[in-house]
């Protein structure tokens, strides 16, 4: 397992997560709307993945040894686009072309348009199967890389999700790690009102997966869970990421309406003000941690 | 008309050899497995029926049994393709693309994943299993998808050639074939190139454009018509998409009328493609022989073909209608 990250490294990742959140708000405001709730909720996980966990090279997006990351809940692509841009796959300025004509940043990701995107996604339930295919190919050819997939809790309504989960568990795909955004919302209502998923963790266990539950906003927990998943090769690992949709903007938090929502300039500015003050707090902590290191 | 090197000497004889087109798929996939280590197979609990078992037994490390889960199969195939593999996913057409069209559309077509979909048990030839299992809509579904090539080979040998060509083609390919043993009437010399129709006979009173197992029926009808002095150009349109528009336009120009024949709904399949093309390129009288917007039922293949209008007599009647419409048109122009 990798060396545990320092407090400074964790603070750096938290600051990057804040950047991703601000990007999501700016992109959605520029487009007039966007899938904001899930994107803000997963910003900490994306910061952990792209800036610590994943072995990848933005200068060589098709490196055969890279870890693969497949976004099954393609609608939260704003946060993935932001993570890719800030990793260096393409210019950050391009982010505001999201959802616009002639853009590489489609409303749902399109494989082949944008470097770093590993699958076309959108219709729910399709990503895990693709991740399984990639994991099978890696296992057969002796590849050392891992396959990561993110899925939403809502897409566990889809039959295909369970086909893939059953298969991956039965075939002991230890090189597959699934991160489930357990944010309890979907488009119509809360998940437990639309179609209850609980007991959720037990379902994965029954399907022969290793399961880890984490607080999705505790970046150290995300990094640790991914390290554990990397070490466990006997079974695929599901990391159930308990998250707050809309995290970081108080009037968006835990409101299913913000799953996909219009965003005007004033509302965006109000959201950005909150995020900027949170960034200031992290910056001060980073300064003091650096001071501590220097001392 | 029957001396053509593209056709077996026994083409219309009772002695003609018979083999199922699905067996052509199974044999070709097995050969591909030896030729190319990137070729994979996937099955959904119908591995014996689709003949993919030949490959599965020979190359177990490159075969994925997904269980009765066609949606998952399409996604896994896409994932394998994006890792550089050439996956052939095999099932019955009623399930794949019947069940998993959305996965095929997004995970495969939109992604341009190099996946080959092998669909067995198409048409009425499922026989006793009845309408639920008789895929008569698959070409319409697959033809509508951007980036897809749609193939409907006519016999055992042509199916093998189609499978080899599909493996070579970079991009998604759909190949439909059938369960029953049907006449094996093409030869090693019969050319096969994706998107290039094969003219099997050279008459010029009417062009009969057929695909799949209906090509042999078209040849039988042509033989009868020929004896009463009607010159029939039988065209094996094994590639339904992209359609060989040049061959069609030439046939329409030289014959003046066209009949299409397919074991598929008359909506959206071969007849639909030909109508779309000729309507824009060279409108001539067109008759479409196929299943007329209805479901099939249980029965023996011959009984079903008879009941649902897939016979050489039905083709003959369609030819007569097409020719009389052509002549009526010519008469009008003359008057």
CA proximity to B80, closest of B46, B37, B142: B37
Name the pairing type of β-strands A176-182 and A261-262: unpaired
Identify from A129, A161, A164 which residue to disrupt to test chain B contact, counting B C-beta atoms within 10 A and taking the largest count.
Answer: A129
Q: Nearest 5 degrees, angle CA A44-CA A47-CA A49? A: 110
A259 to chain B nearest CA, in Å?
22
Query: What's CA A284's distance to the chain center, in Å?
Result: 26
- The Cα–Cα gap between A239 and A230 comes to 12
A137 to chain B nearest CA, in Å?
6
- The Cα–Cα gap between B74 and B55 comes to 18
Token readout for B68 is 């009765």
Q: Which residues of B are catalytic?
A: 70
- Other residues' Cβ atoms within 10 Å of the Cβ of residue B321: 14
| Predicted complex ipTM | 0.95
- The Cα–Cα gap between B95 and B135 comes to 9
**Residue position matching structure tokens 């610590």:** A52
Name the pairing type of β-strands B39-43 and B181-183: unpaired
Contacts of A57 (CB under 8 A, 6+ apart): A63, A66
* Contact map slice: B 28-67 vs A, CB within 8 A: 61-62, 64, 66-67
Which residue of A lies nearest to B77 if distances are taken between CA atoms?
A: A133
Is B79's CB within 8 Å of A121's CB?
A: no
Is A123's CB within 8 Å of B64's CB?
A: no
SS (H, E, C) chain A: CCCCCCHHHHHHHHHHHHHHHHHHHHHHHHHCEECHHHHHHCHHHHHHHHHHHCCCCCCCCCCCCCCEEEECCHHHHHHHHHHHHHHCCCCHHHHHHCCCCCCCCCCCCCCCCCCCCCCCCCCCCCHHHHHHHHHHHHHHHCCCCCEEEEEECHHHHCHHHHHHHHHHHHCCCCCEEEEEEECCECCCCEHHHHCCCCCHHHHHHHCCCEEEEEECCCHHHHHHHHHHHHHCCCCCEEEEEECCCCCCCCCCCCCHHHHCEECCHHHHHHHHHHHHHHHHHHHHHHHHHHHHHHC
pLDDT tens for chain B, 335 residues long, are: 444 679 999 999 999 999 999 999 999 999 999 999 999 999 999 999 999 999 999 999 999 999 999 999 999 999 999 999 999 999 999 999 999 999 999 999 999 999 999 999 999 988 889 999 999 999 999 999 999 999 999 999 999 999 999 999 999 999 999 999 999 999 999 999 999 999 999 999 999 999 999 999 999 999 999 999 999 999 999 999 999 999 999 999 999 999 999 999 999 999 999 999 999 999 999 999 999 999 999 999 999 999 999 999 999 999 999 999 999 998 888 77
Residues of chain A with Cβ-Cβ distance to B84 below 8 Å are 137
Residues of chain A with Cβ-Cβ distance to B79 below 8 Å are 119, 129-137
Residue B162 in contact with residue B132, Cβ under 8 Å? no
How many helices and strands, by DSSP H and E, does chain B display? 11, 14
Is B76's CB within 8 Å of A163's CB?
A: no
Is A160's CB within 8 Å of B71's CB?
A: yes
* Contact map slice: B 189-218 vs A, CB within 8 A: none
- Other residues' Cβ atoms within 10 Å of the Cβ of residue B10: 14
Q: Nearest 5 degrees, angle CA B153-CA A133-CA A152? A: 120
pTM of the full predicted structure? 0.96
pLDDT tens for chain A, 295 residues long, are: 457 899 999 999 999 999 999 999 999 999 999 999 999 999 999 999 999 999 999 999 999 999 999 999 999 999 999 999 999 999 999 999 999 999 999 999 999 999 999 999 889 999 999 999 999 999 999 999 999 999 999 999 999 999 999 999 999 999 999 999 999 999 889 999 999 999 999 999 999 999 999 999 999 999 999 999 999 999 999 999 999 999 999 999 999 889 889 999 999 999 999 999 999 999 999 999 998 655 4
């Amino acid at each position: 397992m990798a060396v545990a990250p320092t407090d400074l490294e964790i603070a750096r990742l938290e600051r990057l997560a804040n950047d991703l959140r601000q990007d999501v708000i700016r992109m959605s405001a520029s487009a007039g709307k966007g899938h904001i709730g899930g994107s803000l909720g997963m910003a900490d996980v994306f910061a952990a993945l792209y800036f610590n966990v994943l072995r990848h090279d933005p200068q060589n997006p098709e490196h055969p040894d890279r870890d693969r990351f497949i976004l099954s809940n393609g609608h939260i692509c704003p946060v993935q686009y932001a993570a890719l841009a800030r990793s260096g796959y393409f210019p950050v300025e391009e982010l505001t072309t999201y959802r616009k004509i002639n853009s590489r940043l489609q409303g749902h990701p399109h494989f082949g348009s944008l470097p770093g995107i590993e699958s076309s996604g959108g219709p729910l339930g399709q990503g895990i199967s693709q991740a399984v295919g990639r994991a099978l190919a890696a296992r057969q050819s002796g590849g050392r890389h891992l396959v990561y997939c993110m899925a939403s809790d809502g897409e566990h309504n889809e039959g295909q999700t369970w086909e893939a989960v059953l298969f991956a568990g039965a075939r002991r795909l230890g090189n597959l790690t699934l991160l489930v955004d357990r944010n309890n919302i979907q488009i119509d209502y809360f998940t437990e009102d639309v179609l209850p998923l609980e007991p959720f963790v037990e379902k994965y266990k029954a399907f022969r997966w290793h399961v880890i539950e984490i607080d999705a906003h505790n970046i150290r927990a995300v990094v640790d869970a991914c390290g554990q998943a990397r070490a466990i090769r006997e079974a695929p690992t599901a990391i159930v990421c308990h998250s707050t949709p809309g995290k970081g903007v108080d009037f968006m938090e835990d409101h299913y309406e913000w799953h996909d929502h219009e965003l005007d300039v004033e509302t965006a500015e109000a959201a950005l003000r909150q995020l900027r003050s949170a960034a200031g707090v992290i910056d001060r902590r980073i300064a003091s941690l650096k001071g501590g290191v220097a001392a | 008309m029957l001396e053509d090197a593209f056709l077996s000497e026994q083409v219309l004889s009772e002695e003609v050899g018979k083999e199922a087109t699905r067996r052509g798929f199974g044999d070709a996939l097995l050969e591909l497995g030896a030729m190319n280590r990137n070729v994979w197979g996937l099955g959904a609990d119908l591995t014996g029926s689709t003949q993919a078992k030949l490959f599965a037994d020979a190359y177990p490390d490159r075969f994925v049994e997904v269980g009765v889960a066609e949606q998952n199969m399409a996604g896994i195939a896409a994932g394998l393709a994006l890792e550089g593999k050439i996956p052939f996913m095999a099932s019955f057409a009623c399930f794949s693309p019947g069940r998993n069209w959305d996965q095929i559309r997004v995970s495969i077509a939109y992604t341009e994943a190099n996946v080959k979909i092998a669909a067995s048990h198409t048409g009425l030839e499922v026989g006793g299993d009845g309408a639920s299992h008789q895929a008569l809509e698959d070409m319409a579904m697959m033809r509508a998808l951007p980036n897809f090539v749609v193939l409907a080979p006519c016999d055992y040998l042509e199916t093998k050639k189609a499978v080899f060509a599909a493996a070579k083609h970079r991009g998604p390919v759909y190949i439909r074939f059938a369960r029953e043993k049907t006449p094996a009437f093409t030869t090693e010399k019969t050319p096969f190139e994706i998107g290039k129709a094969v003219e099997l006979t050279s008459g010029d009173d009417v062009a009969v454009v057929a695909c799949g197992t209906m090509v042999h029926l078209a040849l039988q009808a042509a033989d009868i018509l020929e004896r009463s002095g009607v010159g029939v150009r039988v065209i094996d349109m094994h590639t339904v998409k992209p359609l060989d528009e040049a061959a069609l336009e030439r046939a329409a120009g030289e014959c003046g009328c066209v009949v299409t024949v397919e074991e598929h709904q008359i909506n959206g399949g071969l007849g639909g493609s030909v109508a779309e093309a000729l309507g824009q390129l060279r409108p001539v009288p067109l008759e479409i022989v196929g299943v007329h917007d209805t479901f099939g039922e249980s029965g023996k293949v011959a009984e079903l073909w008879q009941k649902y209008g897939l016979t050489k007599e039905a083709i003959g009647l369609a030819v007569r209608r097409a020719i009389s419409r052509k002549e009526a048109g010519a008469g009008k122009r003359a008057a």
